[in-house]
Structure 1
Amino acid sequence: MNVGIGLPIGDPATLLDWARRADAGPFSTLGLLDRLVFDNPEPLIALAVLAGATSRVRVQTEVLLAPLRDTALLAKQAATLDRMTGGRLVLGLGIGGREDDHQVAGVPVSSRGRRLDEQLTVMRRIWAGEPYGDEVGPIGPAPGRPGGPEVLFGGFKPVALERVARCGDGFLAAAPPSWAGGLFDTVRTFWKEYGRDGEPRIVAQVNAALGPQDVVDDARARMHAYYTFTGMADRMVAGMLTTPSEIRDAIAAFTDLGADEVMLYCYGLDPAQVDRLADVL
């Protein structure tokens, strides 16, 4: 089982420390979430900096809100980062659910799913080196991974799970083991219905904080502030894993469900959490 670190968003200046510790440890991936109207770092820029400070770990958007972005520019940015990291970029994509994010970007919420589907078609064509259109030439550079970076989709509704099989490489599941298994099964069923070879890559995500009580309290407060808009922040914060045994049990449960990787998502700022989580593994 691969285990990655989901990076905190409260202070971008601390992320180099987090990244270097993770790169020196047993972790497989660094993940970073995306929002527009929030006090978080822009993920592609931040991950580019972190990729330059590391040599081994993958860098993963988790998830990048693609409909908020210009399609051709996003394709070029992703290809550049993938090329310069030797294929270490994993592009986790989603549609987002915040009205204010879409308002600022000038993208209607009602069309975000359809826009994402259209974006993937265009980006795949760009990454393959094909012309953008009849009168517009190719957009380089070529990505490090032939055909473009690995694309994972997040989401919970059937249309999002079907998208994984139709045009993705795998699934990002921000759900506890108790109900993630049903999501995994649905994704795998769609995968077979579309005649895809092999299996979709399954990446699970759990929220975790390890350390003294002030570290745990900080993580809970920051996570609550981030998810206040959902109206379910209390319930979500209550599910945060705060002991080594809870974390080990979650990893074991996701292993039993056939996940390929578990991302331990941190909201507290203390970078020593990386070392504590490494000790758990």
Structure 2
Amino acid sequence: MKIGLGLPIDDPALLLTWARRADAGPFSTLGLLDRLVFHNPEPLVTLAALAGATARIRVQTEVLIAPVHNTALLAKQTATLDRMSGGRFTLGIGVGGREDDCLAAGIDIRRRGRRLDEQMALLRRTWAGERYDESVGPIGPAPLTPGGPEVLFGGFTPAAIERVGRFGDGFLGAALPPQYLSGLFRDVEKVWEKYDCPGRPRLVAQVSVALGPRHTVDRARRNLLDYYEFSGRAAYMAEGLLTTPGQIRAAVADLAGIGADEVVLYCWAPDPDQVERLAEAVF
């Protein structure tokens, strides 16, 4: 099973250091979250820089809130990133849930699911080299990956699961214990069969971690509380932070047991020494 790293967001200047150290180690993926009304770096711009600073590790949005993005520009950006990274880009995608993000982007939060469905049809058509729509021609460049970059859907609703079969390559499940995430994984597999998709869906799990001295763990917990404040579940999310090698190894084993192809260890503190600590703990 592959192990990725989710990148901290509170000190973007350190992310090149994180990326180079992870690329030199055993990790498979660098993930980066997306929000509009927050202090996180813009993910596609940041991942492009990280792809240029690395040689083998994949880069992944985790997840991009597609409805707040312009669809034509998003098609061009993602194809460009896939091409310039040598096909190392995965588009983790979802609808988001923050009203202020939607207000800032000028979209109706009540239509974000329908908007994502419309966007995915346009993205797939554009990546295939077809006309963007009846009045607009093709938008290049062509992605390096045939048909476009790998797409993983994140979310917890039946609509999110359904999109995996309709548009995607797999599913990204975050912040759920294995016993609940297992049910979502099995639902994804059923939808995959329903749409007669080839092969099997890629199943990715995410857990929150902080490994290091007390100040690293405390900062990670504060960042978790800050990020999830809007949700009403901030305390629950902070309680789920894994802070010892034993906890992290056990979580990885449990997620492997429910069929995860990859586990992304999401790091909430900017201390880059965690790269080597996590490698030693997990590998």
Q: Normalising TM by the smaller chain, what interval?
A: over 0.9
Output the TM-score relative to the length of structure 2: 0.98
Partner SS for 1:92 = strand
Question: How far does residue 196 in structure 1 lie from its aligned partner after superposition?
Answer: 1.4
Structure 1 residue runs of 5 or longer lacking an equivalent are none
Matching of residues 165-184 of structure 1 within 5 Å? 165-174=165-174, 175-184=176-185
Inter-partner Cα distance in structure 1 for 2:134 and 2:101: 33
2:13 equivalent in structure 1: 13
Matching of residues 66-145 of structure 1 within 5 Å? 66-145=66-145
- % identity of equivalent residues: 64
Greater CA drift, 228-237 or 30-39: 228-237
1:235 equivalent in structure 2: 236
How many residue pairs were aligned? 281
Partner SS for 2:115 = helix
Question: How far does residue 176 in structure 1 lie from its aligned partner after superposition?
Answer: 2.2
Deviations 1:181-217 (A, max 9, x none): 0110111111111111211100100000000111101
Aligned alpha-carbon RMSD (Å):
0.8
Question: How far does residue 166 in structure 1 lie from its aligned partner after superposition?
Answer: 1.4
Inter-partner Cα distance in structure 2 for 1:26 and 1:192: 33
2:246 equivalent in structure 1: 245
Inter-partner Cα distance in structure 1 for 2:236 and 2:142: 44
Matching of residues 218-229 of structure 1 within 5 Å? 218-229=219-230
Inter-partner Cα distance in structure 2 for 1:133 and 1:25: 44
Q: Which amino acid aligns with 1:49?
A: A
Q: Which amino acid aligns with 1:215?
A: T
2:160 equivalent in structure 1: 160
Inter-partner Cα distance in structure 1 for 2:135 and 2:258: 48
Q: Which amino acid aligns with 2:254?
A: A
Partner SS for 1:26 = coil
1:27 equivalent in structure 2: 27
Inter-partner Cα distance in structure 2 for 1:39 and 1:229: 14
Output the TM-score relative to the length of structure 1: 0.99
Inter-partner Cα distance in structure 2 for 1:120 and 1:200: 17
Question: How far does residue 178 in structure 1 lie from its aligned partner after superposition?
Answer: 2.6
Q: Which amino acid aligns with 1:209?
A: A
Partner SS for 1:5 = strand
Inter-partner Cα distance in structure 2 for 1:32 and 1:172: 13
Question: How far does residue 232 in structure 1 lie from its aligned partner after superposition?
Answer: 1.1
Question: How far does residue 48 in structure 1 lie from its aligned partner after superposition?
Answer: 0.5
Question: How far does residue 133 in structure 1 lie from its aligned partner after superposition?
Answer: 2.6
Structure 2 residue runs of 5 or longer lacking an equivalent are none
